[in-house]
Chain A
């Protein structure tokens, strides 16, 4: 079996770009990835593209072919939708295509346009990642769903709003120097605590922003990389996916994310690594509580101990296990369909040594990306490793 190698990565600026179409955002990220890889668009055999809410924000479905043509690629193109894990599942399929010998060169990525809607309409669009009949019609919002998880977590395991604020502060600190990040500025615990409530116990600074942006990764087989003398030293050695009941009310315990645990276990076994081997991680912190659930599911901390680890600085860039050196969804931003592959793009740079925070993990060899959809009814985990 051949490993899939990351030959190149590309990102747009993540931020407030209401006038930019998703096809143009993806063109920028995809062309940057092809240039980074030194791969000719004519060699691309398939495009796998993630997008969540194009029908609602742009009145545009069937975006796969648009994504391919925006890069000048003439190849089959498919759009994947798993809410906020859309490009994560697209990447998983691309990895499998390389491994199965189906393709030697693929572009995989995603794009999302969100800020052309007002906040209420965006909130409405995001809510469709939850159960329409039994959650959305009861008035549940996406922040509301994570607030229910946070409240249950505090009740079962302890923790406070102030503990969660440390996660937001850390991720803002990590985003300083990231040219692609929406917020390249630091915040304080006090500012986070004083921000307005969105869905108690979560306040504005617990939540990722509404973001326009795109990301792309060029995946190649080892054979293609060798034949074309590509610099593709990062391999995706593990992939895993997990699932859970859609509605929180049908879950065994709303204070945990077992779908991500399953995805992590599968990805670790696939790569032949353990949680203890991981040097650095990019996780899906759409809300501060989500980073806690992610680090527990990834096996970095025991269930119920993630919030204390965050408060104690274990996951800061100077800590034992740096998490979200990019700034995470909180500060880098969260253009939903682009997030999964943006995490892999950031991790690739960290491991290659050309990331703005690479200096904090000079010896890192194993990275993990954790991408979740909805309230983690979908989860995808990928393991990246430096290859000699």
Chain B
């Protein structure tokens, strides 16, 4: 991973880390994530930052056993797509395989890879 920041993405993670998580909402109510200049769903250019809901619901999940070099020491770990209403997020669920299930309520937070120490989006079961 380079030390150069990725504008938009790293700003979004910073905000989440300091308890001010947000998503982008367009004039038509579609959600998306930065960096964005237009809504990917309808091309609206009116994007505003809205507070990310505090809890989301696991929509689908998997336990990854064969990982990339950046996550080899983390494996096995649970990855999920979590529904926050206007947006969905993808990240690691901080739970054992046996405790991870669709419908689980979680809160987002910034964690780090056990392998590299890099920041990543995690989900804490409520």
Which single member of A197, A202, A248 contacts B81 (CB below 8 Å)?
Answer: A248
| Residue interface mask A191-209, B partner, CB < 8 A = 1 | 0000011111110000000
B4 at the interface (CB under 8 A from A): no
Asked if residues A199 and B65 are in contact (CB atoms below 8 Å), the reply is: yes
Asked if residues B32 and A250 are in contact (CB atoms below 8 Å), the reply is: yes
Instruction: Count A interface residues, CB 8 Å.
Output: 37
Closest 10 CB pairs of A and B: A147-B62, A249-B88, A152-B60, A124-B68, A200-B63, A151-B60, A139-B71, A138-B91, A199-B62, A144-B64
Which single member of A139, A141, A143, A150 contacts B92 (CB below 8 Å)?
Answer: A139
**Cα separation A140 to B64 with both chains bound (whole Å):** 8
| Residue interface mask B5-29, A partner, CB < 8 A = 1 | 0100100000000000000000000
**Cα separation A136 to B69 with both chains bound (whole Å):** 12
A60 at the interface (CB under 8 A from B): no
A-B contact pairs, 9 of them (CB 8 A): A134-B33, A139-B67, A148-B79, A196-B65, A199-B66, A200-B97, A202-B62, A247-B90, A250-B40
Asked if residues A148 and B60 are in contact (CB atoms below 8 Å), the reply is: yes
**Cα separation A375 to B102 with both chains bound (whole Å):** 20
Chain B residues packing against A (C-beta within 8 Å): 6, 9, 32-33, 40, 59-72, 74, 77, 79-81, 87-92, 97, 102, 113, 118, 120-121
Interface class of chain A by DSSP: helix
Which residues of the partner chain B approach A150 to less than 8 Å between Cβ atoms? 62
Chain A: minimal CB distance from B25 (Å): 14
A185 at the interface (CB under 8 A from B): no
A108 at the interface (CB under 8 A from B): no
Which residues of the partner chain B approach A123 to less than 8 Å between Cβ atoms? 66-68
A1 at the interface (CB under 8 A from B): no
Which residues of the partner chain A approach B102 to less than 8 Å between Cβ atoms? 151, 155
Extra contacts, 5 of them, besides A141-B66, A144-B79, A148-B62 (Cβ < 8 A), are A134-B89, A134-B90, A137-B121, A138-B121, A155-B60
A91 at the interface (CB under 8 A from B): no
Which residues of the partner chain B approach A120 to less than 8 Å between Cβ atoms? 67-69, 72
Asked if residues B65 and A197 are in contact (CB atoms below 8 Å), the reply is: yes
Chain B: minimal CB distance from A232 (Å): 43
**Cα separation A147 to B66 with both chains bound (whole Å):** 12
Chain A residues packing against B (C-beta within 8 Å): 119-121, 123-124, 127, 133-141, 143-144, 147-152, 155, 196-202, 245, 247-250, 254
**Cα separation A151 to B60 with both chains bound (whole Å):** 6
Which residues of the partner chain A approach B71 to less than 8 Å between Cβ atoms? 139
Which single member of A134, A141, A197, A254 contacts B67 (CB below 8 Å)?
Answer: A141
Asked if residues A133 and B6 are in contact (CB atoms below 8 Å), the reply is: yes
Asked if residues B120 and A197 are in contact (CB atoms below 8 Å), the reply is: no
Chain B: minimal CB distance from A304 (Å): 15
**Cα separation A148 to B93 with both chains bound (whole Å):** 13
Closest to A143 in B: B66
Asked if residues A133 and B9 are in contact (CB atoms below 8 Å), the reply is: yes
Which residues of the partner chain B approach A143 to less than 8 Å between Cβ atoms? 64, 66
Asked if residues A254 and B68 are in contact (CB atoms below 8 Å), the reply is: no
Known: A141-B67, A152-B59. A254 touches B120 (CB 8 A): no
Chain B: minimal CB distance from A196 (Å): 7
Asked if residues A137 and B79 are in contact (CB atoms below 8 Å), the reply is: no
Closest to B92 in A: A139
